[in-house]
Amino acid sequence: MKKYLSVIFVMFLLASCMDDADEVISSKLKLEGAYFEHTYDNCSNDGNLEFSCTQWVKFHENNKAEVLIGGNDIVWQATYSISDKEVYLIYENESLNEDADGFRIANADTLVRFVYDEVWVRKEMN
């Protein structure tokens, strides 16, 4: 019986540690000054400077962000907030706010966009 209790105790301890690790990732993740990008697979803009094969987000102080999405050449202004393991974006252009946009925090170097399940990777800011 002691073995079973010991096994249950160890499993409970490990499960509680895993939850704490997830909380640490989201609560300690500092986005200010961070730059994440996603590159479309098999993309070619064929020299068209108005089309970008790379999407990116730059997080600034005061919860402000610049976002280049959708393959175009327009950089959108947004504010962001972090809740649990998610980052929410609210665009200054309200027409972009029709669908919830943002990211799930996979780890300190990886975000996954809600809309298309795209993986965005932290890079050095350009």
- Write the pLDDT tens digit of every residue in 37-73: 999 999 988 888 788 899 999 999 999 999 999 888 8
Q: Which residues have CB under 8 Å from 26's CB, separation 6+? A: 82, 84, 85, 86, 105
pLDDT at 99: 76
Mean pLDDT of 11-36: 62
- Select the more confidently predicted residue: 4 or 53: 53
Residue 4 has pLDDT above 70, yes or no: no
- Per DSSP (E only), the strands in 7-74 are 35-39, 54-59, 64-68
3-state SS, residue 116: coil
Q: What mean pLDDT is reported for the chain?
A: 82
Mean pLDDT of 72-86: 94
Architecture of domain 31-123: Beta Barrel (2.40)
99 vs 73: CA distance, rounded Å: 20
The values of phi and psi at residue 23, to 5°, are -65, -40
| Token code pair at residue 87 | 């980052």
Continuous segment of H or E residues that includes residue 79: strand 75-83
Sign of CA pseudo-dihedral 109, 21, 78, 118: positive
Residue 85 has pLDDT above 60, yes or no: yes
